[in-house]
Amino acid sequence: MSKGSYLFTSESVAEGHPDKVCDRISDAIVDTFLTAEPQARVAVETLCTTNHVVLAGETRGPASITPKLMEEVARQAIRDIGYEQDGFHWKKAKVEVLVHGQSADIAQGVDAAGNKDEGAGDQGIMFGFACNETEHLMPAPIFYAHNILRSLAEARHSGAEPGLGPDAKSQVTLLYENGRPVRATSVVVSTQHAEKLSQDQVREIVRPHVLNVLPKGWMCPEEEFYVNPTGRFVIGGPDGDAGLTGRKIIVDTYGGAAPHGGGAFSGKDPTKVDRSAAYAARYLAKNVVAAGLAERCTIQISYAIGVSKPLSFYVNTHGTGRVEEEKLAKLLPEMVDLRPRAIREHLGLNRPIYARTAAYGHFGRAPDADGGFSWERLDLVAGLKRELH
């Protein structure tokens, strides 16, 4: 984006949003396979509607992962989110499992054999992005939109706000001056709630969560603070709208502040470059910004199915770079091998770390001790500074 004064908006959706319920179930299936077999292959999509869940896709893994086990995993995911409603209940919903073995044609392109390295699981373009607008090097609108919903979810799970339901959405519009965010001009929060609560009561439940998340003095004018603008949000989740895996890819990434290649993450094991290469691109971009080499950095990587080497590697620092983009484009692939298997090994992706990514963004999170969010590490910073400062 160019410097100057402008407004920019991003939205987030909570773990109980119908699409996020599906993402959570699909990623819980991925984790189940990777727990049993780290090299398992998984591509599982979920559909959910009123008291009905359908799993479909392809897998290659141990026989112990039966349809019955996948059904149990789906129910537990729904229970963890908090759905015990008449229209969508973890115990009462019908769960259909229509999952079959991975195509042999796909497997032969991806598997390593003889002198052939493991190929990419599909063709595609993947983007990574980082900027210095927030401490986690994420665009500010999506960062705050996520954290408002996370705060509400924590209050719901703890019992502090029993009147809240699992389904919720947020939208944050920020004013930028000279290319930097300075305050919110509007905030929208829609949250499912108990029937006994009025719109004004829900508004006052939501207000402190917004105030606590936004920087001091950033709150929007009162007339631009919208809470449940339709007036009522009792029926929600999959009972209100059908959900599908992979429909919230902009919520999952950068809130529209950066390009997206189009591929979703959830439900896919890390041989799928839609997921692993997008994580690698974020990892590289974040380390570039953290090293002080740019204020903003976009990275694109492309692949062909069955081919291990990337077809292209592109760096754009949006006029904020302190070193030439050509130098970064040469150095970064030398520091991190971007072949699919090498990405998985470098970031430790063949483990059950994915259900936790299904809500509140795949990026801008602190790395976990067990290897979750490993792509958020800043372990390349010292090497980048040494090579390029």
Query: Which one from 209, 272, 275, 344 is the annotated catalytic residue?
Result: 272
DSSP string covering 76-130, please? HHHHHHT-EETTEETTTSEEEEEEEEPPHHHHHHHS-BTTBPPPBSS-EEEEEEE
Q: Is 260 a catalytic residue?
A: no
What is the C-alpha R_g of the chain?
A: 21
169 marked among binding-site residues? yes
What type of residue is 125?
A: I
The SS3 assignment for 158 reads helix
**Which residue pairs, CB below 8 angstroms and at least 24 apart, start in 226-232?**
226/186, 226/187, 226/188, 226/189, 227/188, 227/189, 227/190, 227/191, 227/199, 227/202, 227/203, 228/189, 228/190, 228/191, 228/193, 228/199, 228/202, 228/203, 229/188, 229/190, 230/190, 231/199, 232/199
Query: Which one from 41, 75, 169, 296 is the annotated catalytic residue?
Result: 169
Q: Is 248 a catalytic residue?
A: yes
Q: Is 19 a catalytic residue?
A: yes
275 marked among binding-site residues? no
Which of these, 172, 97, 122, lies nearest to 275 by C-alpha position?
A: 122
248 marked among binding-site residues? yes
241 marked among binding-site residues? yes
91 marked among binding-site residues? no
Query: Which one from 71, 96, 111, 241 is the annotated catalytic residue?
Result: 241
282 marked among binding-site residues? no
The SS3 assignment for 99 reads strand
Query: Which one from 41, 60, 156, 268 is the annotated catalytic residue?
Result: 268
Query: Which one from 23, 27, 31, 45 is the annotated catalytic residue?
Result: 45
19 marked among binding-site residues? yes
Cα atoms in the Cβ-side hemisphere of radius 13 Å centred on 206:
28
Is 245 in contact with 264 (CB distance < 8 Å)? yes
Query: Which one from 56, 155, 242, 329 is the annotated catalytic residue?
Result: 242
Q: Is the dihedral of CA 377, 381, 382, 384 positive or negative?
A: positive
Q: Is 203 a catalytic residue?
A: no
- What distances in angstroms separate CA 327 from CA 115, 190, 312, one per listed residue? 31, 46, 15
Query: Which one from 11, 15, 19, 295 is the annotated catalytic residue?
Result: 19
Q: Is 241 a catalytic residue?
A: yes
Query: Which one from 122, 133, 239, 274 is the annotated catalytic residue?
Result: 274
The SS3 assignment for 250 reads helix
Q: Is 196 a catalytic residue?
A: no
102 marked among binding-site residues? yes
Question: Which residue has tokens 């992979």?
Answer: 246
Query: Which one from 36, 52, 56, 58 is the annotated catalytic residue?
Result: 58
94 marked among binding-site residues? no
Q: Is 68 a catalytic residue?
A: no
145 marked among binding-site residues? no
133 marked among binding-site residues? no
Query: Which one from 60, 156, 248, 362 is the annotated catalytic residue?
Result: 248
Q: Is 233 a catalytic residue?
A: yes
Q: Is 295 a catalytic residue?
A: no
- Annotated binding-site residues for L-methionine read 58, 102, 241, 272
- Annotated binding-site residues for K(+) read 45
- Annotated binding-site residues for ATP read 17, 167-169, 232-233, 241, 247-248, 264, 268
- Annotated binding-site residues for Mg(2+) read 19
Catalytic (active-site) positions? 17, 19-20, 45, 58, 169, 233, 241-242, 247-248, 268, 272, 274
- Annotated binding-site residues read 17, 19, 45, 58, 102, 167-169, 232-233, 241, 247-248, 264, 268, 272
